Amino acid sequence: MSKKTSGIPDIPLQDNENDMLQILSFEIALNEFIRKTSTPISIALQGEWGSGKTSFMNRMNYEICKNNNAKSYGIWLNTWQYALLKNKENILEAIILALINDVLAISKKEYPDKFKTLAADIYKIGITIFKGISKIAVKTAFSQLNSDLADAVDETVFTEKDEASYSLSDLKDKLSDLISELMQRNSENAKTQKSFIFFIDDLDRIEPSLAVNIMELLKNIFDIKHCIFVLAIDYDVVVKGLKSKFGELNVENEREFRSFFDKIIQLPFQMPVTSYNIEEYLKELLASIEYVNDNEVQNEIFMRSLVRLTNLSVGTNPRSIKRLVNTLSFVNLLILSKSKIENDELTFISDYKQIIFALTCLQVAFPDIFNLLTDNPNIENWTYEFAHKKNIEVNEEDRNNLPIWEHTISSFCNKNEFLKRNVYNIISIIKEMQIIAETNYRKLSEILPETVELLSVTNVESDKIKPILEINEIRVLYALNQRLLPAIKEKLTEPLEFVERKGRMIARITYKFDNQKKNNTVSLAVFSKHNNIYLKIGDTIELFSVSDTNKDAWQYLEEQGKTEVLNQIAADFMSLENRCDHIRLANTTRSGLFLRNKYVVLEQNYQIVTDHTEYLYSDSIIDELSRFVIDYMKMIYKIKNIDWNYN
C-alpha cells in the first residue's frame, strides 16, 4: 500500500530503492554488460530531462559498486554543480582534478602508503597542466588526503621555479600506471573490484559546448584500461555543442556529428521510456496523494483512461508525471477544503476526477492551450470572434465541418512547431473530456469553467489570471429589454399571440406569451463568472405529474416508453442551436430532466458568452436573440402538446 503524502519530491531514486517504472530487465542487462566488458569503454545514457537517467545510474552504482561482492569502484561527478559554482574558465580543470582526487583517495584507502610517490607525480603533473585553479584551494583540498601529498603539491605549485613541460599524455600514463597497479594488487589480494566506473551526471543540463569539451577531455585523460564511463548525455546535446565546429546539422554534415559521438561513446543506451509501466507508476503516485480510492485503483477502465491522457500529454517522463501528480494533489486538497468551509458534503466522482486530470495534463504539457481555456473556458461555445480577438488566424472557409473550437485550436497550434506536432494529442484530450462529460449527460462547457478556475492557482503564467469581472445585472437587463422586447414583437407568428414582460426585473427578464396556459414563458438572466459575462436563456417546462418521488425522472420516462420522445426533443433543441451563430446549449436535455413538486420537469437552457456587455446590445445579437426566443417558444408549445400518456 502506498505511503500517504501530499507531494511527490522530484529526486532521483537512491541505491536499491524500489523502481515503480518496472524496467529491471534493462538494468540487469546493462549491469551485466558492464561487469563483463573489456575496458576502456564509455556508455551514454540518453534521454530527455526527467526521463530517469540519474535514478538509473544510482541503482547501477549500488548494484555494481556498493553492493556485496562489488565488481568496481564507483566515482560520481555532477557536472551541473561545477558549472554553477566555478568560474567558467576553471570548470574543466576542476572536474578533472576532482576525478583524479577520487581515484587517489580510493587508492590510499585500499593500500595506505603504497602509492605515495606515484600519487605525488600525478598531482605534480595535474597541477602543472591546470595552472588556472586557485593554488590555495588545490592545496587545501589535497591536504585532506595525506600531509605528504600536500607537501608535494606545495613543492610543485609554490616552490618550483623551472616547471617541467607536461602534457595530457603524461598525466594519462601516470594514471594508467596507478590504476593498473591498484587492480594488480586487488587480484593478488583476492579483492573483487576490477575497474573504476565514473558516473558523470547532468551533462545535458550544462551549456552544450562545455559538455562536449568535458567529454573530449575525459576521453583524452581517462581512456585507459580498467576505466568505464557512464555519461548522462543525449545525442541532441552533442549536436548543439558541435554547431560552432560543424555548423547546423544537415544531411551533408550529419556523418561528422555522428563520427564525433561514436568516437567517444562505444555504447549508446536510450532510456527505455516507452517500456515504463506508467499504469502502475500512476496508481502508486495517485494513491499516495489520495486522489484515487481503492475501487478506482482496481478499475481497469478508469486507470487506462488516466494512462491514455498521460501518454497524450506529458508522456512517460517521470519528472513531468510527478509535477502532474503534485498539481492534482493540491487541487484535491483545495476541493476538500472548499467543501468543509461551505458545509457541503462533496461527492468527488470518478468522472469529475478524470476531467480534472485531463485539464491538468493540458496545463502541464501544453500551457498555451490551458491559457486559451483560461480566457474562455466555454470551449463548446467558442466563436470566430473569440479566435480573431486572440489573434488566431482562422480561415472560416476551411472549417470542413469541424466544431469552431477544434478549428480554432488547430489554427492556433499551426503557429508553434511544438504545438503543431502535438495538435492531434491536444484535440484528443479535449474530446476525451467531452466524452466523459456526456457519459454524465452533461456538456463539457458546464464543467470546464469551474475546473479551469480551480487550476488557475497552479498556472505558471500569473499574468493569465484576470481580475474578477463585475457587472450591474439589473442595468444590463434593463438595457437589453429596451431593445429586445420590440424586436420580439415584430417577429411574432402563430401560435404565439402576444408577448409581454412578466413581473419585476430584478434577477431576470421573463417574457410571457399566453395568459391562459402553463409553460408559456422564457427567461433571460445575466451574470458574470470565470471572467466572462453569461446571458442565460431558457425556462423550466412541466411535462407530467407523478404520484410519488421514489424514482428519478428518467425512470418514469422508461416506464412509459417515452425515452425516445425525449431523445427527439433533445435533437430538436440541438437543431435550434445549429441555426444560431452565437447562442449555444448550456446543458444537455438529459441533465435538465428532474423531479420537482411531483412533476417531471425539463429545464433546457442556452447561453451567450462574452467579455463585454456592449456585445449583448449589438444589432446582430438582438436580431439573432429575438428570432431565437420565438423559435424556442414554438418548440415549448410543441412539447406541451405531446401526449405523455402517464397512468
pLDDT for 605 equals 93
Going by pLDDT thresholds of 50, 70 and 90, the confidence category of residue 136 is very low
pLDDT for 510 equals 92
> What's the average model confidence in pLDDT over 96-105?
85
- Residue range 502-512, pLDDT digits in tens: 888 878 899 99
- Segments making up each domain of the chain, as ranges: 27-270, 276-464, 473-640
Phi-psi region of 495 (alpha: psi -120 to 50; beta: other; left: phi over 0): alpha
pLDDT for 480 equals 94
> What's the average model confidence in pLDDT over 92-120?
81
Going by pLDDT thresholds of 50, 70 and 90, the confidence category of residue 21 is low
Give the E-state strand segments of 115-248 in sequence order. 195-201, 227-232
Task: Among 130-134, 259-263, 476-480, name the most confident range.
Answer: 476-480
pLDDT for 427 equals 95
**Residues 549, 310: Cα–Cα separation, whole Å:** 42
**Residues 621, 303: Cα–Cα separation, whole Å:** 44
Enclosing H/E stretch for 73: strand 72-78
Percent of the chain with pLDDT over 70: 85
* Whether the predicted pLDDT of 159 surpasses 70: no
> What's the average model confidence in pLDDT over 209-226?
86
Greater pLDDT, 73 or 10: 73
Contact criterion met (CB below 8 Å) for 629 and 488: yes
- Residue range 82-98, pLDDT digits in tens: 877 656 667 887 888 88
Distance of CA 346 to the CA centre of its chain: 27
pLDDT for 153 equals 44
Helix 53-61 with 24-36: angle, nearest 10 deg: 50
pLDDT for 466 equals 55
Mean predicted lDDT score pLDDT of the chain: 82
Compute CA distances 270 → 28, 48, 60, 75, 579, whole Å: 15, 10, 15, 22, 54
Going by pLDDT thresholds of 50, 70 and 90, the confidence category of residue 411 is very high
* Whether the predicted pLDDT of 547 surpasses 90: no
pLDDT for 89 equals 62
Q: Which long-range contacts (CB under 8 A, 24 or more apart) does 636-641 make?
A: 636/519, 636/520, 636/522, 636/539, 636/541, 637/495, 637/496, 638/572, 639/519, 639/541, 639/543, 639/569, 639/602, 640/517, 640/518, 640/519, 640/541
- As given in the structure block, the three cell numbers for residue 428 are 484528443
pLDDT for 309 equals 94
* Whether the predicted pLDDT of 115 surpasses 90: no
Greater pLDDT, 279 or 128: 279
Among 158-162, 190-194, 358-362, 459-463, the least confident range: 158-162
* Whether the predicted pLDDT of 347 surpasses 60: no
Residue 531 CB partners (closer than 8 Å, separation 6+): 374, 375, 466, 468, 469, 611
Going by pLDDT thresholds of 50, 70 and 90, the confidence category of residue 157 is very low
Closest CA to 430 of 515, 345, 370, 498: 370
> What's the average model confidence in pLDDT over 566-571?
92
* Whether the predicted pLDDT of 470 surpasses 70: yes
Q: Which residues share a beta bridge with 18?
A: none
Greater pLDDT, 144 or 187: 187
pLDDT for 489 equals 93
Contact criterion met (CB below 8 Å) for 154 and 128: no
pLDDT for 216 equals 85
Going by pLDDT thresholds of 50, 70 and 90, the confidence category of residue 378 is confident
**Residues 99, 220: Cα–Cα separation, whole Å:** 14
Residue 264 CB partners (closer than 8 Å, separation 6+): 42, 215, 216, 219
Contact criterion met (CB below 8 Å) for 323 and 294: no
The amino acid sitting at 140 is T
DSSP string, 376-420: ---GGG--HHHHHHTT----GGG-TT--HHHHHHHHHHTTSHHHH
Contact criterion met (CB below 8 Å) for 59 and 284: no
Going by pLDDT thresholds of 50, 70 and 90, the confidence category of residue 242 is confident
* Whether the predicted pLDDT of 9 surpasses 60: no
Sign for the pseudo-dihedral over CA of 636, 641, 644, 647: positive
Q: How many C-beta atoms surround the C-beta of residue 85 within 10 A?
A: 9
* Whether the predicted pLDDT of 307 surpasses 80: yes
* Whether the predicted pLDDT of 308 surpasses 90: yes
Going by pLDDT thresholds of 50, 70 and 90, the confidence category of residue 618 is very high
Compute CA distances 398 → 24, 326, 391, 408, 427, whole Å: 50, 40, 17, 11, 17
> What's the average model confidence in pLDDT over 192-206?
88
Task: Among 105-109, 141-145, 248-252, 367-371, name the most confident range.
Answer: 367-371
Greater pLDDT, 13 or 394: 394
pLDDT for 483 equals 94
The amino acid sitting at 377 is P
- Residue range 575-610, pLDDT digits in tens: 999 899 889 898 889 889 999 888 889 999 999 988
